[in-house]
Structure 1
């Protein structure tokens, strides 16, 4: 059973850490995912599987939100540069690429979630 409170806590921690991570590009964003996943796994508890699941969901949720903003920005910029058809396909393409990257990057949150759930147990 998914503890949505744990996922939300992990998501919020991940977003806050992600904003701070702009000071240290690259390493900072990986650390933000680990910290957010750790928080989700710690709040959820229940062992490795539960920590993995909750950390993965927290990381993926954050990635989906970022993908939505990037897709919207791509649509607006495409509309200004290439007309309505360019904005539609540009926004969809950016959204799809960002969504794929979001799920790949959610794996570090899942690892953080496993560690967090182990420390709580």
Structure 2
């Protein structure tokens, strides 16, 4: 059974460290996924598989929500360009969201591995 509290706390850690990690573009995001996945796995406990699952969920939610927010900001910013600008940035926002979903899968795997480690330590 999924411990949603552990997933949510891991997601919050990923989000907070991801925002701070923007100062170090690649390393900051990787560290955020690792730490958040570890926290989710540690809080869920129960061994490697349980930690893996909770880290995977926390990482996936972190990537998808982050991508959705970036796509939304790009889409809203396009309204300043009128109808044509709105369409162009709307399409760009969709592209950014699709890319962010793909990146979230990578982040989810990374978080899952760290979650497995956290679950094993608990």
TM class, shorter-length: 0.7 to 0.9
Q: TM-score, normalised by structure 2?
A: 0.87
SS of the equivalent of 2:114 reads helix
**How many angstroms apart in 1 are the aligned matches of 2:48 and 2:26?**
26
**How many angstroms apart in 1 are the aligned matches of 2:87 and 2:22?**
33
Number of residue-to-residue matches in the alignment: 120
Alignment RMSD:
1.6
**How many angstroms apart in 2 are the aligned matches of 1:94 and 1:21?**
19
Shift of 1:31: 1.1
Which structure 2 residues correspond to residues 95-110 of structure 1 after superposition, within 5 A?
95-110=97-112
In the alignment, what sits opposite 1:118?
A: 120
Which string of whole-angstrom CA distances, capped at 9 and with x for unpartnered residues, describes residues 33-79 of structure 1?
Answer: 11000000000011111111100110111111111111112212344
**5+ residue gaps in structure 1?**
none
In the alignment, what sits opposite 1:27?
A: 27
Which string of whole-angstrom CA distances, capped at 9 and with x for unpartnered residues, describes residues 57-108 of structure 1?
Answer: 1011111111111111221234434434323322222211111111222211
In the alignment, what sits opposite 2:42?
A: 42
SS of the equivalent of 2:33 reads helix
**5+ residue gaps in structure 2?**
none
